[in-house]
Structure 1
Amino acid sequence: MELVQIVRSGGAARCDDVVLRETSTTRLVFRAVLVDNAKDAAQPVRGWIVSQRKRKGDEWEDHNEVALSNMRAGEWVKTELRAEEVDKLVRHVGGLYRLYRSGGLPSGKTHFLKLDLQAGESPEDLEGTVRTLLALGRRSGLDTFGKVVDLTLRDEDSAEVVRQLERLEVSTVQKLQSLAGVAALRAALDTWEANEGNTSEEFWQQTFKDNAFILSQAFSVPVLLIQDKAYVGGRELSREGATELDFLYANPITANAACVEIKTPATPLLGTPYRGKSGGRVYGASVELSGALAQVRNYRYRLTTGYSHLRIEREGEFEVAAPRCLIVAGHAGCSLGDDDAKKRSFEALRGGLADIDVITYDELFERVRSLCCLLEGT
């Protein structure tokens, strides 16, 4: 196993030399180039067998090239390749063919891990191979572990993958689940930290859709995502006026529905001061937050009044006994800062909402961070 660099220049890509034979002062290498062969796309590899030499402490230098067209009658050049050297050459060229067929010429400078698969490897050999693979990945920045998992899960025989997982010890499966959970939480935190100022509702809609577990942290009971951009009624005869809720969740045990409306971290939480001076100021909800409160109440009304029709389409998925409502909006750290009056006003505002929960983005992702630390034991 080794790290191979391929550098593209124009319509060709040069690969690192493969050492076929080496002593302290001489060596024999194969130098390959991947090309877009206009005459035959099935033959993308060109190459040279190169003899090199060096003095102690010097760099390797190519021997002078011998042009066959300049040789006279009776002159000849012979280079013997041992069986293991031919095997190495064939394996390398075969790998280049597979690489080209899978994606054509690489772009720019690209690194690949070349893995020589040998038959009859012992468990100890396999363990060493995996450790080397991960070590190379850490040094090169390549996602080697992810590639291995992706290739495994891409297997068309998913039942065989399940059978292999069943052979693992229970402790191993539990550890794998825990690590996968931490990885997902860490990825979600990275997304938040890189996009705290993102003002696109579509971006956050897609983020929460791809990571449904994030919004579940805002509820005090277990919930499952039923539908994003869920139709909850309101369509007129002209087919206009349809009402779409950002997310529809449901308790998996009681089936009670939950309506989720999302804004962005940039959504203002409070308006201008209403009364009072200095530390005694009182603030009301911002226009944007007031609108979100009215909007989610309308969604819940549409959902409950149109439930008999909706249930025909989504039988058994959810009930509307007492739908909970959640609004995700704003950034408490930015909107409230260290202003005690703003903090009191905001807490009084959302604390007085008996039927709607309001949580800010930084509060939501702080819950994700806490869960991540709990799983990591930190």
Structure 2
Amino acid sequence: MALGFRQHDPDRDGTLEVEEVHPNFVEVYFVPPERSLVEAGLDPSQATRYKTKLLEINGQHNFLTIYPISTFGDRSDFLKPKYGQIERITLDDTDIISGVGWDATSTPEDVRDVLENLPSTFTKDYAYGLGLAKPYRFIIDAVQELSDCSEIVITNKHATGPTQDGDGIFHISTQDFEQARVELNKIDRHAQSAVRAVKWTAAHNILAERLGVPKQEPKAGRHPYRKLFTAVAEGKQELSEEDQNAVIGTLTSHAADIAEDQPEKLAKLRGDIELVTLEALITRYEGMLGENLNEGHWQEFFNENPFILNMAFGYPVIKVRDQASVGGRKLSGDGEKITDFLVKNSLTNNTAIFEIKTSQTPILNKTPFRDGVYTPSADLSGSINQALDQKYQFQKQIAQIKDNTRLYDIESYAVHCCLVIGKTPDGDDRKKSFELFRRNSKDVEIVTFDELLEKLKQLSAFLRAAEAES
């Protein structure tokens, strides 16, 4: 039978394959849908080639091992372990799975029955890669923080803690697992109760003010969690990092409810978070500009924050790949020419090449060529030629690259080259020389690191002004 809470569509959710290892012991594999494979840049006609283990069900010895995976094709960890370090979760002859009933599991329908009978602590929908349900993800986080283990075993047979023989197993006793589940549920209830109290008080006080009636303070309750969440909801509490993580977890768990009940407040919260995040990014960027960092540090920074590169263009771009081979067999292969970033126009698919140097790279020579005229440094002219050579190699190899990587939605109509290098020179003569040179560099757009920073600051100022106006 299909899962009671959702009918599966193979084209949307993928399928399951069951392989019998020996009697009463099967391995279950997730076969991704074609749509996800296309999003991941993989061959959709080879779906079974990409099947990934999802479960081991051993009815003989009463254990079930879940292999949580990422099932979304547009993510970089597609078909890889969902939690990174923790690769497996085993339920070993425990009361938690006493009602599962897996003695005759041999078909995908049998597997769905097993999943449907798992406790609510677990994700039951294979299309979402299984594992712990989102409100209980903190158990995974705690194990990863406290050990380097790759498997969690929930059992009645061992006390909580990592094994001593280095096999990478972290045991959680059934009693401790149940205690963690109850405590996390209790936190959610306190958070919901605090939100209701603050919402009631807010509505009351708006009307009370109009009627000249005294305002009220929200009832904080006696429990420390309830007090904390009430203070946070009012915006009165400065949070420690631990408290911030707890609030973020609770907000994540109830985002859908908030979006339905108070969409305008959720939108305001999102805007505030984005502004704070942008300002923190600006602060980090300014700090990096003052350090003598190598190219690798800057490439990693832009890889984490690719939207900054968008600011170098006047049209919408999305990243195709970082460290892309443009003169070899594949974008991800070992090629003769490697560009730092390959991006494309999100509307026309026309590609662009980014070459990233460092903020300390000299742009002009130190001494003038003539009075008031400075020539470009060897680093700048060499970097321009490097970008042009990458463009040439990419245009020459584009057909082979598209065929070998199966990335058919990239084009080389007029490959745009962008070089991020150095800082804007000091002094009028040096600025003039730099502008004269780069404005005549028609095939390579030259942008300095501090210019990108200034664009970030202008974006922040614009968003602040828009927020104030609204």
- The normalised TM-score by structure 1 is 0.60
Written as runs of structure 1 = structure 2, the 5 A alignment for 1:74-89 is none
Opposite residue 422 of structure 2, the aligned amino acid is G
Written as runs of structure 1 = structure 2, the 5 A alignment for 1:294-305 is 294-305=385-396
Opposite residue 360 of structure 1, the aligned amino acid is T
Give the secondary structure class of the aligned counterpart of 2:419. strand
Deviation string 1:220-269 (CA, Å, 9 cap, x unpaired) is 10101111001111469xx9762111001111101110110001110101
Q: Tell which structure's C-alpha radius of gyration is larger.
A: 1
Written as runs of structure 1 = structure 2, the 5 A alignment for 1:1-378 is 118=190, 121=193, 123-125=195-197, 128=218, 129=226, 130-133=229-232, 138-139=237-238, 141-142=240-241, 144-150=243-249, 152-153=251-252, 163-164=256-257, 166-196=259-289, 197-234=291-328, 242-277=336-371, 281-312=372-403, 313-332=405-424, 336-337=425-426, 339-377=427-465
- Contact kept, 8 Å, 2:325 with 2:335, in 1: the verdict is no
Give the secondary structure class of the aligned counterpart of 1:195. helix
Change (3 A) 1:170 1:306: same
Give the secondary structure class of the aligned counterpart of 1:189. helix
Q: Deviation at 1:271?
A: 1.0
Change (3 A) 1:216 1:270: same
Change (3 A) 1:170 1:355: farther
Change (3 A) 1:168 1:370: farther
Opposite residue 197 of structure 2, the aligned amino acid is D
Give the secondary structure class of the aligned counterpart of 1:250. strand
Give the secondary structure class of the aligned counterpart of 2:436. helix
The whole-number CA distance in structure 2 between the counterparts of 1:144 and 1:303 is: 50
Give the secondary structure class of the aligned counterpart of 1:247. strand
- Contact kept, 8 Å, 2:342 with 2:352, in 1: the verdict is yes
- Contact kept, 8 Å, 2:195 with 2:230, in 1: the verdict is no
Extract unaligned runs of 5+ from structure 1.
Answer: 1-39, 44-93, 103-113, 156-160
The whole-number CA distance in structure 2 between the counterparts of 1:126 and 1:220 is: 45
Deviation string 1:40-83 (CA, Å, 9 cap, x unpaired) is 9659xxxxxxxxxxxxxxxxxxxxxxxxxxxxxxxxxxxxxxxx
**Partner residue, 1:83:** none
Q: Deviation at 1:285?
A: 0.8
The whole-number CA distance in structure 2 between the counterparts of 1:375 and 1:133 is: 24
Opposite residue 190 of structure 1, the aligned amino acid is T
Opposite residue 231 of structure 1, the aligned amino acid is S
Q: Deviation at 1:135?
A: 7.6
Opposite residue 271 of structure 1, the aligned amino acid is N
The whole-number CA distance in structure 2 between the counterparts of 1:274 and 1:286 is: 11
- Contact kept, 8 Å, 2:340 with 2:355, in 1: the verdict is yes
Change (3 A) 1:262 1:118: closer
Opposite residue 205 of structure 1, the aligned amino acid is Q
Opposite residue 435 of structure 2, the aligned amino acid is E
The whole-number CA distance in structure 2 between the counterparts of 1:216 and 1:120 is: 40
- Contact kept, 8 Å, 1:235 with 1:242, in 2: the verdict is no
Q: Deviation at 1:207?
A: 0.8
Change (3 A) 1:168 1:369: farther
Opposite residue 210 of structure 1, the aligned amino acid is E
Give the secondary structure class of the aligned counterpart of 2:367. strand
Report the RMSD for the aligned CA atoms in angstroms.
Answer: 3.6
**Partner residue, 1:72:** none
Give the secondary structure class of the aligned counterpart of 2:407. coil
Q: Write 1 or 2 for the structure with the bigger share of strand.
A: 1
- Contact kept, 8 Å, 2:188 with 2:250, in 1: the verdict is no
The whole-number CA distance in structure 2 between the counterparts of 1:321 and 1:293 is: 20
Larger RCO, structure (CA 8 Å, separation 6 or more) = 1
The whole-number CA distance in structure 1 between the counterparts of 2:329 and 2:190 is: 64
Count of aligned pairs: 261
Q: Deviation at 1:323?
A: 1.1
- The normalised TM-score by structure 2 is 0.49
Change (3 A) 1:120 1:180: closer
The sequence identity of aligned pairs, in percent, is: 28
The whole-number CA distance in structure 2 between the counterparts of 1:315 and 1:189 is: 34
Change (3 A) 1:115 1:165: closer
Deviation string 1:135-174 (CA, Å, 9 cap, x unpaired) is 8995454363454224554x6xxxxx67436515443343
Q: Deviation at 1:186?
A: 1.5
Give the secondary structure class of the aligned counterpart of 1:227. strand
Q: Deviation at 1:328?
A: 0.7
Opposite residue 384 of structure 2, the aligned amino acid is L
